[in-house]
Amino acid sequence: MTIKECIKKYSQELKNVTHIPAKEIEILIMFLLEKNVIWIHLNSHIEFTKEKELEKLVKKRATHYPLEYITNKVSFYGENFIIKENVLIPRPETEILVEKAFETLKQISNPKIVEVGTGSGIISVMLSKLLPELKIVAVDINDDALNLAKENAIKHNVEKQITFIKSDLLKETNGDFDMCISNPPYISNSYVLPHNVNFEPKNALFGGTIGDELLKNLIEEVSSKNIKYLYCEYGYDQRDSIKNYMKNFNVKSLEFYKDYSDFDRGFLIEFNNKQRK
């Protein structure tokens, strides 16, 4: 069976799992052959010799198991990152958070920041690549995430800029920071996840009974440590709750932003020097 025939045959098994079944079969074939998309298209007429391996991977994917965990690869901000089980899979919307942070940090001389819930390390790594003078303390409570984040930092040659620490929010961190940045867990504990998301670590997704409890704890800790900026993602229905909560603090500015689908996605806080009212 040729590569083209395999794509046609096995894409039928994924038509109820993804809106791009043929593309995903291509990706799995590229993964098995260690080839790129140009090679696949130029050689689609040749015999495919790894059909048994492909069939096994397709059956796994058909259970809604994430494609990224199969290939151990994810794209973010135009770069390739390693991804593994028990670590949150990066979403394209987080690129907006990186852009927002970059615009502020590039105006600060030798900035130092802390990232809470670094996961695969994509935020810290990309900001380090964009700002070579930046120093980051990246924290997570998940050992698998910290180990993977270190791998990605080494892969992208920015490991000297990032210090990785196991910490629940900011509890184990010390020193002065210009900014805290985070894509924290913010989903309500009762929310029913899509099939594919069920394979991802729950402690990277659920933020409490309402969902924003952990966010509010983070705001409190950032304020207590006199960090000037907090740039953070949040749930699409949490804007009013966060806006009301911020009345407890001395805030210079509070900005909300939307994602590519026009949903509320994050907020940018600049505190005054005296942060509590």
Tens digits of residue pLDDT in 167-205? 999 999 998 999 999 999 999 999 999 998 999 999 999
Average pLDDT, the chain: 95
- Given phi > 0 = left and psi -120 to 50 = alpha, else beta, which region is 78? left
- What token pair was written down for 143? 């050992």
The encoded tokens of residue 39 equal 């090679």
pLDDT band at 38 (very low <50, low <70, confident <90, very high): very high
- Res. 53 pLDDT band, cuts 50 70 90: very high
CA 16 and chain centroid, separation: 25
Q: Using one digit for the tens of pLDDT, what is the confidence trace for 68-102?
A: 999 999 999 999 999 999 999 999 999 999 999 99
pLDDT of residue 98: 98
Residue 275 is predicted with a pLDDT of 52
Reported as half-sphere exposure (CB side, CA atoms, 13 A), residue 238 has a value of: 26
Listed by start position, the domains of the chain span 3-63, 85-276
DSSP state of 199: G
Q: What is the DSSP-derived secondary structure letter of residue 222?
A: H
Question: Tokens 């991804």 appear where?
Answer: 83
Instruction: Give the Cα-Cα-Cα angle 130, 91, 34 (nearest 5 degrees).
Output: 85
| CA gap 141, 158 in Å, rounded | 21
pLDDT value, residue 241: 95
Select from 148, 168, 167 the least CA-distant residue to 159.
148
Residue 274 has pLDDT above 80, yes or no: no
Q: Please determine, looking at this structure, whether the domain spanning 85-276 carries the CATH number 3.30.465.10.
A: no
Cβ proximity of 35 and 24 under 8 Å? no
**Residue of 190, 175, 191, 152 whose CA lies nearest to 72:** 152
**Structure tokens that stand for 232 in this block:** 């953070």
For tokens 């050689």, the residue is 43
Provide Rg for the chain, Cα atoms.
21
Cβ atoms of 221 and 232 within 8 Å: the answer is no
Query: Residue 112: pLDDT above 90?
Result: yes
Distance (Å, whole) CA 107 – CA 101: 10
Contacts of 87 (CB under 8 A, 6+ apart): 119, 120, 142, 144, 145, 148, 201, 204
Point out which residues pair with 271 in neighbouring strands: 251
- Whether this model's pTM surpasses 0.75: yes
Q: Identify the helix (H) or strand (E) that includes residue 250.
A: strand 249-258
Is 178 in contact with 201 (CB distance < 8 Å)? no
Closest-CA residue to 99 (of 134, 136, 127, 138): 127
Separation in Å, CA 202 to CA 5, 185, 189: 38, 9, 9
Per-residue confidence at 213, pLDDT binned at 50, 70, 90?
very high
Average pLDDT rounded to a whole number, residues 16-21? 96
Q: Mean pLDDT, to the nearest integer, of 37-57?
A: 96
Band (276; pLDDT cuts 50, 70, 90): very low
Record the tokens describing residue 197, joined without a space. 């998301």
